[in-house]
Amino acid sequence: MILFGHLGITLGATKLLNKMKINRDFTSLLDYRLVLVGSILPDLIDKPVGRVIFKEAINNGRIYAHTTIFLLLILVFGMNLWRKYKKPEILALALGVFFHDVLDSMWLYADTFFWPFYGWNFPRSEQEKYFWMVIQKLLTDPYTYMPELIGFVIIMIVLIRLIVRNKVGDFWRTGKLD
């Protein structure tokens, strides 16, 4: 999954969870901006580190921030902030990271997802022309382009609703969608 899939599907799933009112204290304070940042945070960290900085050694865009340890660290930190101060910001970030890992099917990449339990090294990608491989998959692979299309549609629906209700400014200031 690339950008719109992560952003849009995470946004839609979080909005659906919010409508279910699982924890009203938490969902009423939820900042969707942070959920959106969390939904792409693993890629924002790992792509430059693994594909640029450590290109010769790893050449892999799914390393540290795609692990359960990363998710658990954010989650534990967020739970402590929530428990002590009722501040949900880091939990919102963790929710986005969780959806990112689910949408990337990280459990299928056990060497990375359960790092370091399978060893200290990350798998090395042999894909040298990563950018062109992504473009090709976007054009030919339904497992790639369908989530991107669905995510884009969700983002457009939310954006149009914000515009029609004249709430774009409110969203930028507060992160609220209600």
Q: What is the pLDDT of residues 11-47, one digit of tens each?
A: 999 999 888 877 666 667 889 999 999 999 999 999 9
Phi/psi class of residue 21: alpha, beta or left (left: φ > 0; alpha: ψ in -120 to 50)? left
Q: What is the pLDDT of residues 61-110, one digit of tens each?
A: 999 999 999 999 999 999 999 999 989 999 999 999 999 999 999 999 99
What is the b/e burial string over 144-176, where b = at least 16 CB atoms within 10 angstroms of the residue's CB?
bbebbeebeebbeebeeebeeeeeeeebeeebe
More confident residue, 81 or 133: 81
Domain ranges, ordered by start, for the chain = 4-174
